[in-house]
C-alpha cells in the first residue's frame, strides 16, 4: 500500500513539495526497449507549465526534467531506450519565493488542505501548500509522457469544455482548435468568451471552475478488468486524485440517469472487421469495466481556485477567527492546466491496463 503511488503494473511514485528543493517521480514497470528522450517528456511538461498566458499563475518555473535512471543507449539504434528498470525523473524547483507564503503559515485557507493536513499530520510544509499543491501534477505529466509511448495507435486528447458555467458548443468541437488558444478549448468562440470572462474574474480577485473532457481513441476492445479493476473505476480514481476535482463521469455520465434504457443502450451492427460496430457511445467506451473499442470518454469537474483575493472567514491554527485572502500568484481557473494532467492520468491508467491485459488474459502461454 502506498499513498503516493498510482497504478499497478505501470506504476508511478511521486514525491516533493511545492517549495522544496525538487519534485520528482519514479516510474516502475515500464517495459524495456521503449525509445524515450528528455525532450519528449519536456514537450508534455511545457503544455502544463505555468506562466504561459495571463490566465495562469505567473510563477516562473522552467520545469526542466532530468532522467536519472532507467534509460540507456540501445545497442542497435544508439538512441536512449528504457531498460525495464525504474525511471527516476527529477524537476528542480526554481522560482520558489517562499516569502509569499509566510503570513499564511498559521491561517487555514478555506477550500485548501491546510487544516486537514494539520489535523492529520501535526506538521506540514506550509510553503505554497507543500505536498498538497497542484505542483505535484507536473510529475504526473512527465510520467504520462512515458506512458503514452507504450500505447501505440492510441490518441489521448483533452479539452476544456466548460469554464465558469459557459459551455462550448458541441457542434463547433474541433480538436485542432485546442492548440490555438490558452484554454485548450475545442471551440474558438467559447475561448473568446472565456477570455473576457476570466479577465473580469481575475480583476475582481475571484476564481472560476471548469469541466475537462479527455478522450482516448484507438483503445482496442478488451482492456480493463472486472470487478474492482474496472477501466472506468480506475479512470474515476485517477481523475478524482487531481487537485480540486469534485466529480467524474464516463460517457454520458449523469445524463444516463435521466434517460430510458432503450435510449441509453448503444445499438450494435455487424462491423467490417467481424467485430460489432456501435451506433452510439453513451457508454463512453466501457461496458462492465472493459473497453468496447469505441473512444474512451471521461469528464471531470474542477472547482474554482480556492486561493482568491476575496476575503473568506476562517480560523488560525490556534483557533482565532480571521478573514483569509491569498496574495501570492495563482491560477484564476485551475481547470485550464488540469487538461494536460487529465490526459496524463488517462495515459497512466491505459498503460497500466495494457500491461495487465498482457498478463492476465488471452490464451495460455
Residues 242-261 binding its own copies (CB under 8 A) are 243, 246-254, 256-261
Q: Return d(Cα 267, Cα 256) in angstroms, integer.
A: 15
- What is the DSSP track for 9-52? SSEEEEEE-TTSSEEEEEEE-PPTT-B--HHHHHHHHHHH-SSS
> Residues 199, 203, 205, 206: what is their CA dihedral angle, to the nearest 10 degrees?
-30
Could you give the angle at the alpha carbon of 44 between the alpha carbons of 38 and 46, nearest 5°?
95
Cβ of residue 267: shortest distance to its own copies, in angstroms?
4
Site for its own copies in 277-316 (CB under 8 A): 279, 282-284, 287-293, 301-308, 310, 312-315
| Residue 227 backbone phi and psi in degrees, to 5 | -105, -30
What residues from 24 to 43 belong to the interface with its own copies (CB under 8 A)? 24, 26, 28-29, 31-34
Residue 44 beta carbon to its own copies: minimum distance, rounded to whole angstroms:
19
The contact pattern for its own copies, residues 86-105, with x = CB under 8 A and - = no contact, is xxx-----------------
Tally Cβ neighbours within 10 Å of residue 2.
Answer: 7
The grid cell for 182 is: 490558452
On whether 128 is known to bind a ligand per the annotation, the reply is no
Cα separation, 262 vs 258, whole angstroms: 12
- Residue 189: CB minimum distance to its own copies, A: 19
> Which member of 11, 59, 135, 148 binds its own copies (CB under 8 A)?
11
Q: Is 240 in the site for its own copies (CB under 8 A)?
A: yes
CB of 5 to its own copies, least distance (A): 6
Shortest spacing between CB 38 and its own copies, in angstroms:
12
Closest CB to its own copies among residues 312, 329:
312
CB-based contacts of 177, cutoff 8 Å, min separation 6: 185, 186, 187, 188, 191
Residue 142 contacts residue 24 (beta carbons within 8 Å): no
Q: Is 243 annotated as a binding residue?
A: yes
Strand partners, 88: 26
Q: Which stretch binds its own copies (CB under 8 A): 51-59, 170-178, 180-188, 267-275?
A: 267-275
Residue 6 DSSP SS3? strand
320 binds its own copies (CB under 8 A): yes
Touching its own copies, residues 102-121 (CB under 8 A): 108, 110-113, 115-117, 119-121
Residues within the annotated binding site?
48, 54, 131-133, 243-244, 288, 303-307, 329
Amino acid at each position: 500500500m502506498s499513498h503516493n503511488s498510482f497504478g499497478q503494473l505501470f506504476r508511478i511514485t511521486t514525491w516533493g513539495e511545492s517549495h522544496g528543493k525538487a519534485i520528482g517521480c519514479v516510474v516502475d514497470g515500464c517495459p524495456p526497449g521503449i525509445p524515450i528522450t528528455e525532450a519528449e517528456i519536456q514537450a508534455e511538461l511545457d503544455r502544463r507549465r505555468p506562466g504561459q498566458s495571463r490566465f495562469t499563475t505567473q510563477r516562473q518555473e522552467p520545469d526542466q526534467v532530468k532522467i536519472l535512471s532507467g534509460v540507456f543507449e540501445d545497442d542497435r539504434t544508439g538512441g536512449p531506450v528504457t531498460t525495464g528498470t525504474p525511471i527516476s525523473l527529477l524537476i528542480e524547483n526554481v522560482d520558489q519565493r517562499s516569502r509569499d507564503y509566510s503570513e499564511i503559515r498559521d491561517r487555514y485557507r478555506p477550500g485548501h488542505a491546510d487544516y486537514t493536513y494539520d489535523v492529520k499530520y501535526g506538521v506540514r510544509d506550509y510553503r505554497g501548500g507543500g505536498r498538497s499543491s497542484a505542483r505535484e501534477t507536473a510529475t504526473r505529466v512527465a510520467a504520462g509522457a512515458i506512458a503514452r509511448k507504450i500505447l501505440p495507435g492510441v490518441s489521448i486528447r483533452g479539452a476544456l469544455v466548460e469554464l465558469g458555467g459557459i459551455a462550448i458548443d458541441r457542434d463547433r468541437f474541433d480538436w485542432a482548435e485546442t492548440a490555438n488558444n490558452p484554454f485548450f478549448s475545442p471551440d474558438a468562440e467559447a475561448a473568446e468568451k472565456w477570455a473576457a470572462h476570466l479577465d473580469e474574474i481575475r480583476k475582481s480577485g475571484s476564481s472560476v471552475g471548469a469541466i475537462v473532457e479527455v478522450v482516448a481513441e484507438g483503445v482496442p476492445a478488451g482492456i480493463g478488468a472486472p470487478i474492482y479493476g474496472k477501466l472506468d473505476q480506475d479512470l474515476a480514481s485517477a481523475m478524482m486524485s487531481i487537485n480540486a476535482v469534485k466529480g467524474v463521469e464516463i460517457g454520458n455520465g449523469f445524463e444516463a440517469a435521466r434517460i430510458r434504457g432503450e435510449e441509453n443502450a448503444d445499438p450494435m451492427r455487424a462491423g467490417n472487421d467481424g467485430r460489432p460496430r456501435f451506433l452510439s457511445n453513451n457508454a463512453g467506451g466501457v461496458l462492465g469495466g472493459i473497453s468496447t473499442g469505441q473512444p474512451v470518454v471521461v469528464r471531470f469537474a474542477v472547482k474554482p481556485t480556492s486561493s482568491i483575493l476575496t476575503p473568506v472567514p476562517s480560523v488560525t491554527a490556534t483557533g482565532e477567527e480571521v478573514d483569509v485572502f491569498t496574495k501570492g500568484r495563482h491560477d484564476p481557473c485551475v481547470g485550464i492546466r488540469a487538461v494536460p494532467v487529465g490526459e496524463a492520468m488517462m495515459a497512466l491508467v491505459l498503460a497500466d491496463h495494457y500491461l495487465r491485459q498482457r498478463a492476465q488474459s488471452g490464451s495460455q502461454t
